[in-house]
Structure 1
Amino acid sequence: MTTSSDNGATAPTVSTQIHLASRPTGWPTPENFSTVRVDLPDLQPGQVRVANTFVSVDPYMRGRMNEGKSYVPPFAVGEAMTGGAVGEVVASTADALPVGTTVLHQQGWRDVAQGDAAGFTAVQRVPGVSDSAFLGILGMTGLTAWVGLTTIASIREGDTVFVSGAAGAVGSAVGQIARQLGAKRVIGSAGSAEKVRLVTERYGFDAAFNYKDAPVREQLPEHAPDGVDVYFDNVGGDHLEAALDVLNRDGRVAVCGAIAQYNTTEKTPGPDNMANIVKQGLTLRGFTVGFHLDQAAEYQQAMGPWLRDGKVVTDETVIDGIDHAVDGFLAMMRGENVGKMVIRTR
């Protein structure tokens, strides 16, 4: 089914969407999701219809599958999930977003999105750069790394920085941005020998280790003989405990995620060395990037030249087809991606 767009072409009128069928207990399974095809209504004044090009799957989405209070409402059972997406306007009744405009929005987990134009933001495409970058290094992923280092951890020139999940989308950005901001030494953890090599050889970390080889608490001190000043935490659990052992006086922790416990069915015990927070005068501060969007312009001004000059590199793992979005999400949760995981929908 199609409908005429403003330029005489045709636009899809059916949206293939991924719905949350049931709330997972522990690790999600394909049975927790359903694929639904929805007939879209005619556009009302001031609305747009967008053919998504890429949609994002991210660790935080696992938390939204649980019921309970959080910084964003949980996904509703029986309804389409949401998340970052980039696409092209294919039908419009909004003068500000004509057909052909590339837009960024939060109606992910579907191949076609529709709604009021206010929910879509026009972006300027970058020659030679995939639109998926707006979901990664030029979007929330990169901004998360920037905010965590600058606002939350107050990085200083000469700092030693430890990053957990260093081969992931956020982690790889953190290490590279830290270097550009004057870090003396950057250390990362990853989940395989191949990823450890990637972190050091491609992303320029000074050192990295495979957290599966031996306890993090044993490995981290070997790579941080002079301690750590900033810890960017994507994992929590044993990584946070190890960092608390080696953080220097006035050390700062930017708590971004806790992927180690997203799929647990029992309460995770806390670190046994919390007293170090007092002894060393440490600061631990959690954050979500949605409360710091005012820094996006400053970040993009800094990142643009770094990308252009090759001082920052970025990778992504692409899964084709909205019907495989769940596969991509589960693979990302298992750590099978390199860099940002995105679903290509057209």
Structure 2
Amino acid sequence: MESPILDKMLELSEIEILQQQLYRYADDFHFLNQLHTEQQGIMEQAIVYRGLIQRLELAIENGEFCLFFQPKVDVQKGIVFGAEALIRWKHPELGLMAPDSFLPQIAQHEFMLKLDAWVINEALAHMTNWLKCGLQLKVSINVTALSLQTEGFVEQLSRALQRYSKINPENFELEILETEALTDLTKAACLIKACQELGVSVALDDFGTGYCSLSYLRQLPVQAIKIDCSFVCDMLDNEEDRTLVQAVIGLAHSFRRLVIAEGVESIEHGVALMQLGCYQFQGYGIAKPMPASEWLAWLNAWKMPKQWRSSAISSDEKRALSYNG
């Protein structure tokens, strides 16, 4: 993601050069005053940006970050097979903050490397605790393109997996946002393969929202793609969104990728997705993200809706008839 504040900081030197030239050649005082005001605004934004980074550094030191987990279900098997780990900031004054309120502003800052490393270790620690209770889940985390493309990331991931050696790497998944820029797809593909050689899987998240969907799907050796929730949420009322969802599912099948739908808000969403050939879901219709402490109780209480069970059986029968025919 782009950071407008950071971009303006980088432009500051250019503005200073331009201002010097204008002082030398221009007589328009009002224009110069306007330029000076803009420069002051950029400086103020830079100070705010620097302050946010410092506050986030302090948040890591003080243990203010935590992970929430949102379930993923496989309706063909009738099971909860995994969860996505999502970061939250337990701000002492502002309360619990979702990542959208602070991450987009710092997406290209090197602090993200530290935060991604924290998420990896924290997720593996929770998986280890669940394993002690006899629970094995496939847990996915979001990793930024910045981290993935930073030298030493694969080694860092390897060390984390060694530190939590009781965890089967096959139960750990990295999700890469399609909307984030991967500057060198050939290099990114090699890095993804290196991560997969450690045993972890890689998924392409928010598929369909970027400008390079087909290029990414063709060149990146990801095992799964996640249909963006913005398409899934409106597919019941918007024929174009339904067509997009159907197209993504078709692409996933054609490229032999697993496909999971985000944004499953209701039983009707699930039924519609099964009719299109998608059987792995994530969304508020199943459960909202929850603290790790609430996970076991929720899991023991969850039951798959009857409509999903009957629709899954119906879909299996249709495939069997098609195959036999």
Q: TM-score range by the shorter chain?
A: under 0.3
More strand by share: 1
Structure 1 length-normalised TM: 0.26
Greater Rg over alpha carbons, structure: 2
More helix by share: 2
